[in-house]
Amino acid sequence: MDNYDQVDVFVGLDVGKGEHHAVALNRGGKKLYDRALPNDELRLGAVIAELQKHGVALLIVDQPATIGALPIAVAQAAGALVGYLPGLAMRRIADLRRGEARTDARDAPIIAETARTMPHTLRSIQVTDEQVAELTRLCGFDDDLAAQITQVGNRIRGLLTQIHPALERVIGPRLDHPAILDLLQRWPTASELRAAGEKRIATRMLKLAPRKGRDWAHEIVLALGEQTVLVTGTNAAALVIPQLATLRRQRDEVAAEVERLVDAHPLQPVLTSMPGVGVRTAARLLTEVAGKHFPTAGHLAAYAGLAPETRRSGSSIRGEYSSRRGNKVLKNTMFLSAFAALRDPDSRAYYDRKIRQGKRHNQALLALARRRSDVLFAMLRDGTLYEAPSRSLAA
């Protein structure tokens, strides 16, 4: 951590929803503070100010987001240093201590002592800029909306299969298309679609599907003619189906705001210059990478879970395997970005070379993601735009 040698007071804070437990130690290990703290700005500020009388204070938390956000903000406002002890490191260190209880009063001194004696386990917390903070919250909300859209979409397909299988065979595979969503929002049931007629259906669908609107309208009318009986549960479909369009509209609004924030960020030209990086990928890279310090490209790859693990045990187990550690969100982002980058000739050539070497599809994509991680590190370090290897060699 930066300025670690200047720290005089190490404050370990085991955060909680209603109250935290704080333990403060000086350089020699003497306990300066040990008690519960309410999750309140005034009380937190008063304790930090009192501890700062002993010198430069370093506040270490075990959860930098959610319930740990207020103590970090108060400490930063008071001029104290802040840091983060990852949960996995915290638990491994706690297992070396006597006792098996997992209480705030036990964990807080472990955090403080770890900060005092093992600074290499700590992670720095930069003062997050407002754009990245907003992106973090919007991306989380976007994930929630995506999950709800998937759930509601599956529910609608199930309902259509139950009440009108022929209609589901036509609409189900195209349920994500805006024209189908708009149509179902206007006429959510089979009886309403039948009453609308092919001409009105086609006219409405042509607005959002000019090439396929008439063909789809004809297929829908043919499917409606295959069933005349009314199945129980039809009314439920009329209530559920419009919800999908509402969720998609909300996600579009979130996407527009995310795009605005990404465009306003200084790193936007750097990130989007790389093939396979669009607005959502750039937003994820900003929320997961921006503000964090990585000494080398290998550190970034390890943080993303893209660095292979070497496993050896005698002569029976030898080789390197994909890591299951690291930031899962960042790893998934890099993996999907590598898949999208297969349209780029250089990325495709690298992927094909790995396939010829005997790697499977996912292994080749992980290798490509690792390679792109090294390039991303250099781009962020130097603030330069992406340059294809073929162009570099030609130059």
- 361-373: pLDDT as tens digits: 998 999 999 999 9
Instruction: Examine the domain organization and report whether 235 and 159 are in the same domain.
Output: yes
Instruction: Examine the domain organization and report whether 302 and 357 are in the same domain.
Output: yes
Its domain, for residue 85, covers 4-124
Other CB atoms within 10 Å distance of the CB of residue 110: 20
222 pLDDT more than 60: yes
Q: Is 17 exposed, middle or buried (0-12, 13-18, 19+ CB in 10 A)?
A: exposed
Whole-number pLDDT of residue 198: 93
Instruction: Examine the domain organization and report whether 15 and 119 are in the same domain.
Output: yes
395 pLDDT more than 60: no
Instruction: Examine the domain organization and report whether 390 and 273 are in the same domain.
Output: yes
Produce one character per residue of 173-198: b if its CB has 16 or more CB atoms within 10 Å, e if not.
Answer: eebebebbbebbbebbbbeebbebeb
- 152-177: pLDDT as tens digits: 889 888 888 888 999 999 999 998 89
Instruction: Give me the chain's average pLDDT, please.
Output: 86
| DSSP bridge partners of 321 | 309
**194 part of a folded domain:** yes
Whole-number pLDDT of residue 49: 93
60 pLDDT more than 60: yes
Last residue of a domain, one of 240, 259, 278: 259
Instruction: Examine the domain organization and report whether 74 and 175 are in the same domain.
Output: no
What is the value of pTM for the model shown?
Answer: 0.67
Tell me the C-alpha distance between 251 and 253, whole Å: 5
Domain total for the chain? 3
Helix (H, G, I), strand (E, B) or coil at 22: strand
100 pLDDT more than 80: no
Q: How many residues does the chain have?
A: 395
Is the separation of the CB atoms in 5 and 14 below 8 Å?
Answer: no
383 pLDDT more than 60: yes
Instruction: Examine the domain organization and report whether 34 and 104 are in the same domain.
Output: yes
Last residue of a domain, one of 221, 241, 259: 259
**283 part of a folded domain:** yes
Instruction: Examine the domain organization and report whether 182 and 288 are in the same domain.
Output: no
CATH number of the domain that residue 234 is part of: 1.10.287
Instruction: Examine the domain organization and report whether 279 and 252 are in the same domain.
Output: no
**201 part of a folded domain:** yes
289 pLDDT more than 70: yes
Last residue of a domain, one of 103, 124, 145: 124
Instruction: Examine the domain organization and report whether 96 and 167 are in the same domain.
Output: no
Whole-number pLDDT of residue 315: 60
Q: Which of 18, 69, 12 is nearest to 39 (CA)?
A: 18
65 pLDDT more than 90: no
- 293-310: pLDDT as tens digits: 788 998 899 888 888 766
- 226-282: pLDDT as tens digits: 988 888 777 777 788 788 888 888 999 999 999 999 998 888 999 999 999 999 999
Helix axes 69-77, 41-51, angle to 10 degrees: 50
Whole-number pLDDT of residue 220: 94
Give 140 or 100, the one with higher predicted confidence: 140
**74 part of a folded domain:** yes
**129 part of a folded domain:** no
385 pLDDT more than 80: yes
Instruction: Examine the domain organization and report whether 291 and 361 are in the same domain.
Output: yes
Which two tokens mark 67? 């319930």
Whole-number pLDDT of residue 313: 59
Instruction: Examine the domain organization and report whether 217 and 275 are in the same domain.
Output: no
- 73-96: pLDDT as tens digits: 899 889 898 888 877 777 788 777
Instruction: Examine the domain organization and report whether 284 and 315 are in the same domain.
Output: yes
